[in-house]
């Protein structure tokens, strides 16, 4: 009895003969469907195992390499996120520094306004005191003038001739 390899060898020989240029114009694919039906399952399993055993180590190495590459990418991504957060912190520190400089500027401005208000308060207090003194002086002068007028009127009354009384 012929084994699966013998059947394959016979089919291969027949297929090569079928592909000869002087054959009777048949398509090269024409008898393949029938040939697949006669292929032994054991041969298919052996071929599949051979194919798997040939490519499996390379595929496993590729799988490990991809896994390692993915892990490296995750580490790089995490590191990149950390660096981004550091830059954001630096920007926030710059913003904080700018806010502090603005606060210092406005504090100085407030201090200057306060000094000016104190100076204006002092000036107004001095002006009020001066105005009060001037008002008191004016009132005193008016009072003195009034008294002087009264004295002059009294003196004129005394100086005016009075008719003598008859006795």
Encoded tokens for 163:
């008719």
A 10 A CB-CB count for 11 gives 16
**How far is 153 from 161, CA to CA, in rounded Å?**
14
Encoded tokens for 100:
């502090």
A 10 A CB-CB count for 8 gives 17
Is the distance from CB of 51 to CB of 16 less than 8 angstroms? Answer: no
pLDDT per residue rounded down to tens, the chain (167 residues) = 444 444 444 444 444 444 444 445 566 555 555 565 566 888 889 999 999 999 999 999 999 999 999 999 999 999 999 999 988 888 888 888 899 999 999 999 999 999 999 999 999 999 999 999 999 999 999 999 999 999 999 888 888 767 777 76
What is this structure's pTM?
A: 0.39
With vertex at residue 26, the alpha carbon angle to CA 24 and CA 27, rounded to the nearest 5 degrees, is 155
């Amino acid at each position: 009895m012929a084994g699966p390899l013998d059947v394959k060898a016979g089919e291969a020989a027949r297929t090569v003969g079928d592909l000869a240029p002087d054959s009777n114009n048949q398509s090269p694919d024409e008898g393949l469907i029938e040939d697949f039906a006669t292929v032994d399952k054991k041969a298919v399993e052996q071929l599949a195992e051979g194919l798997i055993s040939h490519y499996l180590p390379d595929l496993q190495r590729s799988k490990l390499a991809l896994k390692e590459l993915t892990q490296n990418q995750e580490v790089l991504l995490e590191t990149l996120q950390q660096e981004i957060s550091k830059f954001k912190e630096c920007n926030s520190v710059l913003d904080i520094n700018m806010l502090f400089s603005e606060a210092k500027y406005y504090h100085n401005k407030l201090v200057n306004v306060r000094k000016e208000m104190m100076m204006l308060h002092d000036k107004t207090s001095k002006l009020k005191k001066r105005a009060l003194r001037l008002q008191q002086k004016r009132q005193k002068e008016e009072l003195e003038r009034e008294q002087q007028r009264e004295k002059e009127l009294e003196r004129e009354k005394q100086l005016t001739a009075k008719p003598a009384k008859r006795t």
